[in-house]
Amino acid sequence: MSALLEQLIDALRVLPGVGQKSAQRMAYHVLERGRDGGARLAAALAEAVEKIGHCARCRDFSETPVCATCASASRDAQALCAVETPADRLAIEQATGYRGFYFVLQGRLSPLDGIGPRELGLDLLAARLAEGEVRELIIATNPTVEGEATAHYLAQIARQHGVRPSRPAHGLPLGGELEFVDRGTLSHAFGSRSEIGDS
C-alpha cells in the first residue's frame, strides 16, 4: 500500500466510530469517485481546526472571542443554563422557548477520566455567577450517574453565589443523551423544571 494512502487511512481513524475497515473504504471512495469532495473536506477541516475556538463567556464553539448568543442584548440575563455539550445547547435552543444564556461545560465530572472542575471551566462559571446578574442556574446535564453528580456540584456553586439552582423535570430517558431526546419531551421537561434541594 502506498505510504500516502496509509497516512490517509490512519488520519481518518481519528473520527469516532471509524475503524480500519471503514477508514479504508472512505479513502478508496475519495480517491476513486470523490476527489472534489475530498479536497473540500480537507479545506473545511483545516479552516475549522484553525479558526474555531471557544467563547470566552460560555465556552461554546465560536469563531469570535465572544459568541453571537453571548453578545446578544435581547436575551434574559437572569437565566443561565449549564449543558454538557454544544449539541445539548443546540437541542435546547431548538426545542424550547428558552432565551436566557448558556454555559457549555464541554463534558461532565468524571474523576476517573481526569475530568474535574477545572476541565469544565467551573472557575469561569463561578466568576459569571459572582457578577450578580444571574438569578437562576438551570442545570441541564444529562440524567446519567455522572451528569447527576455534576448537577449536584453545580447546584452547590450556585447556592454559594445566592443563585437558585434548578433542574429540568424527570421524564427524560435515563442515561439518554439530551441531544437525542425528541423535541416535545425536551420542551416539556425543560418547562417544568424544579429547584434542586439542598442535600
Interacting residues with Zn ion (CB under 5 A): 55, 57-58, 67, 70
For residues 24 and 35, what is the distance between their CA atoms, to the nearest angstrom?
15
Q: Residue 70 or 95: which CB sits closer to Zn ion? A: 70
Residue 88 in grid coordinates: 445539548
| Least gap, CB of 177 to Zn ion (angstroms) | 22
| Least gap, CB of 109 to Zn ion (angstroms) | 21
Q: Residue 54 or 152: which CB sits closer to Zn ion? A: 54
Q: Residue 55 or 137: which CB sits closer to Zn ion? A: 55
| Least gap, CB of 184 to Zn ion (angstroms) | 27
Cβ atoms of 103 and 81 within 8 Å: the answer is yes
Give me the torsion for CA of 166, 169, 175, 180, rounded to 10°.
-100
| Least gap, CB of 121 to Zn ion (angstroms) | 12
Q: Residue 28 or 61: which CB sits closer to Zn ion? A: 61
Cβ atoms of 105 and 82 within 8 Å: the answer is yes
Sequence-ordered alpha helix ranges (H) in the chain: 3-12, 20-33, 35-51, 68-71, 86-95, 122-130, 145-160, 183-191
